[in-house]
Amino acid sequence: MPQQQVFYSLSNILRKNSITEGYALLRMLKCYLELDALIGLDVHTERTLSMIKSELLIFNDILKVSTMKLDLN
């Protein structure tokens, strides 16, 4: 999975204190990969559906914050 390799490489470069935009992008990428893995399962239980819903809310919040920052610039 190339996306996961990129994620781990970037996590070594982008730190919360050094590059805030990059760190926000990294958080969004992490949520996307979590969602992709959960949605890609062949069988969904109540627990996995709950995990998808929870992760989707987190992804949505991160996306809203990122969009608001872009609108301000």
* Cα 43 to Cα 2, 28, 31, 32, 33, distances in angstroms: 24, 25, 20, 19, 18
What per-residue confidence (pLDDT) applies to 40? Answer: 95
Mean pLDDT value across residues 54-59: 94
How far is Cα 40 from Cα 65, in angstroms, rounded to an integer? 26
* Closest C-alpha among 10, 11, 58, 8 to residue 32: 58
Tokens of 53: 């819903």
What per-residue confidence (pLDDT) applies to 46? Answer: 97
Query: Which pTM value belongs to this model?
Result: 0.69
The SS3 assignment for 25 reads: helix
Question: What are the tens digits of pLDDT across the range 20-56?
Answer: 777 778 888 889 889 999 999 999 999 999 999 999 9
What per-residue confidence (pLDDT) applies to 29? Answer: 84
Task: Work out the pLDDT band at 9, boundaries 50, 70, 90.
Answer: low
